[in-house]
């Protein structure tokens, strides 16, 4: 790839903290798929999608089942 082609193919992202967390989780899930020998050149786009959907599912389950500090109810005084 020429330097000019490389410049044209660059992408810039500005992910929010929650998006970064889901992306990092999806990347780890995808890496696990690779390590398990499931990913090939022919099916890797399917596994990209699967990893992202799995990460979103896990994040959704966490959101539904875990109260963070700022979500805790404060007692009435």
Q: CA torsion sign, 41 to 43 to 49 to 55? A: negative
Range of the domain at 25: 15-66
71: phi then psi, degrees, rounded to nearest 5: -100, -10
pLDDT of 76 higher than 80 = no
- Asked if residue 36 belongs to a domain, the reply is yes
Q: 52-68, pLDDT tens digit by residue? A: 999 999 999 999 998 88
User: Each residue of 17-43: pLDDT tens digit?
Assistant: 999 999 999 999 999 999 999 999 999
Whether 46 maps to a domain, the answer reads: yes
d(CA 53, CA 31): 14
The answer to whether residue 6 is domain-embedded is no
77, pLDDT greater than 60 = no
The total domain count for the chain is 1
């Amino acid at each position: 790839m020429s330097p000019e082609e490389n410049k044209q193919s660059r992408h810039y992202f500005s992910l929010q903290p929650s998006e970064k967390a889901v992306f990092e989780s999806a990347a780890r899930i995808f890496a696990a798929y690779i390590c398990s020998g499931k990913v090939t050149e022919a099916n890797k786009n399917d596994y990209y999608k699967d990893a992202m959907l799995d990460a979103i599912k896990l994040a959704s389950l966490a959101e539904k089942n875990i109260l963070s500090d700022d979500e805790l109810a404060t007692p009435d005084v």
